Amino acid sequence: MIEAEAPKPPKEAGALAKRETRLAYAMLLPTFLIVLGIVLGPLLANFWISFKPVELADLRAAAPVVNEQLRPRPSTAGEAVILRYRLRNSSQKDPITGVTLKDELPVGISVTVNDERCSLVGRTLDCDFGRLDAKERLELKFPTIVSQAYLDSGIRARDTKPILTGGGRNVLTSFDFTLDNFRKIFASDEFWTILKVSLYYTIFGTIGALVLGLFAAQLLNTAFAGRNILRGLFLFPYVAPVIAVAFAWVLLLDAGPGGTLNAIFQRMGMTEGPINFLGQKSIPFTIFGMSFEFPLALTTVIAFEAWRYFPLSFLFILARMQSISSEMYEAAEMDGATPLQQFWSISLPQLVGILAVLFLLRFIWTFNKFDDIFLLTGGAAGTRTLTVDVYEQAFAVSNLGAGAAVAVVVFAVLLFFALIFFKFSPQDDR
């Protein structure tokens, strides 16, 4: 559009620009391809799978399996035995078509082919069975005379592997579609609980990490000896592998006899019995005669989330705070503003931009989080979020289609929040 309106550039420049464009595309091509193949492609494939009746077992496509034997085991020359092939369809529910068998027979046996589906040319056995129904088995028995040459050669009948062809329809590429997956997940009462838990986890985990990060940044904003060491230390939870810290927390919070935190609490006289932080769904309590349920395990995983990701917000907030000019504080000091007033009126307004960006990013990433809850509770005790549910449906219940359907919901919710954020986000910030 713009090109048409612009005055025509000299030919040389146009060629140069074209070359630059071509070079740029060439340099971006590898990135584009791998992102297409591993991120965007699977994203679309996930939608595809969510509409298909596919189970984990269907991934192994139906295929023929054969077993070849010479029975009884020949021991003398001239002995009459049976060459037996047993074929079956590996699948329990899908037929296979185009099934053929090709086998090179060993030296020194003479086989009488008594089946019209098979033919023997030289030492090559060729069979064509056409279709094999689900679970169908076939048996071929050929009378065989064994000569001394066979016994001497040492090459047994089963040493020459038969070559099989034929395959079933691949569930993933077929055109069977169903809405059952979505029907199933939306119909279950659990789904709405899971959605609610996801939102609680995301909102409180994000806010927790931000508040802790803000507080930690306040601590390290002034210079003092050992500040760099402390800064490095505060980043540990984020840098360490999730498996290590998650299992450390599991041991720390264990309600059994080896749990450190419960031992501390009991020693200090703070609690009577052990608290099952990760295993107990809720603690009932009453305030002013109204009874509430405190979601214990969910709170614990939210605390873990805030602990593990506060370093990130801490780092960003600290960087922003150090860039606020000290003149503003000096001026405020002259006007007699108290430290808290300075924080509210100078620091916080300066930090709003970075806090908003961090909230947005952390919100999306916390919503996407799978590992943390999976390792801490496995989604038990009222901590199952949508992402954990994807795993549960697809791999624990072995229903890939239902798992993909939940993943579609995850993506849809994410898109919804992204749109809201972009609508309300401040335009100038970047």
Hey, which residues between 298 and 327 contact another protein (CB under 8 A)?
A: 307, 309, 312, 315-316, 319
Scanning residues 261 to 280, which ones bind another protein (CB under 8 A)? Answer: 262-264, 267-269
96 contacts another protein (rule: CB under 8 A): no
Identity of the residue, 83 or 245, whose beta carbon is nearer to another protein in the bound complex: 245
Nearer to another protein, 229 or 287 (CB): 229
Binders of another protein in range 376-395 (CB under 8 A): 387, 390-391, 394-395
Query: What's the min distance (Å) between Cβ of 273 and another protein?
Result: 15
Q: Is 419 in the site for another protein (CB under 8 A)?
A: no
User: CB-wise, 108 or 329, nearer to another protein?
Assistant: 329
178 burial type by CB count under 10 A (0-12 exposed, 13-18 middle, 19+ buried): middle
Least separation in angstroms between residue 116's CB and another protein is 35
- 381 Rama sector, left if φ>0, alpha if ψ -120 to 50, beta otherwise: left
Cα(383)–Cα(386) distance, integer angstroms: 10
Shortest distance, CB of residue 340 to another protein, whole angstroms? 5
**Contact in structure between 410 and 194 (CB atoms under 8 Å):** no
Closest separation in Å from C-beta 206 to another protein: 10
14 counts as binding another protein under rule CB under 8 A: no
Q: What's the DSSP call for residue 23?
A: H
User: Quick one: which of 195, 368, 380, 396 contacts another protein (CB under 8 A)?
Assistant: 368
> Is residue 340 a contact residue for another protein (CB under 8 A)?
yes
Closest CA to 70 of 101, 111, 29, 113: 111
Token output for 41 = 């492609």
Identify which of residues 58 and 103 has a Cβ nearer to another protein in the complex: 58
Residues 80 and 71: their CA atoms lie apart, in Å, by 9
Binding mask 116-145 for another protein (x = CB under 8 A): ------------------------------
420 binds another protein (CB under 8 A): no
414 touches another protein (CB under 8 A): yes
Radius of gyration of the chain (CA): 34
Stretch that binds another protein, among 44-52, 93-101, 144-152, 293-301 (CB under 8 A): 44-52
- Closest to 293 (Cα-Cα) out of 280, 304, 303: 280
Q: Distance between CA atoms of 249 and 300, rounded to whole angstroms?
A: 10
Q: Choose, by CB under 8 A, the member of 13, 15, 28, 352 that binds another protein.
A: 28
- Of 41, 48, 50, 56, which is closest to residue 405 (Cα–Cα)? 50
Q: Which of 7, 78, 154, 257 binds another protein (CB under 8 A)?
A: 257
Q: Is the distance from CB of 86 to CB of 124 less than 8 angstroms?
A: no
Beta carbon of residue 200, minimum distance to another protein (angstroms, whole number) = 17
**Residue 123 buriedness (CB in 10 A; 0-12 / 13-18 / 19+):** middle
- Taking contact as CB under 8 A, which single stretch among the options 112-120, 189-197, 283-291, 410-418 is the one that binds another protein? 410-418
- Does the footprint of another protein cover residue 25 (CB under 8 A)? yes
The CB-of-361 to another protein minimum distance in angstroms stands at 5
Segments in 36-131 forming alpha helices (H): 41-50
275 vs 404 by CB, closer to another protein: 404
CA distances, 391 to each of 104, 353, 385 (Å): 46, 36, 10
Distance CA 368, CA 386 (A): 9
Q: Does 34 bind another protein (CB under 8 A)?
A: yes
Binding to another protein in span 180-219, by CB under 8 A: 215-216, 218-219
DSSP line for 269-295: TS-SS---TTT---EEEEETTEEEEE-
Q: Tell me if 57 contacts another protein by CB under 8 A.
A: no
- The pair phi, psi for residue 24, each rounded to 5°, is -60, -45
- C-alpha 333: how far from chain center: 53
Question: In one letter, which amino acid is 108?
Answer: G
- Of 67 and 271, the one with the shorter C-beta distance to another protein is 271
Binding to another protein in span 148-177, by CB under 8 A: 170, 172
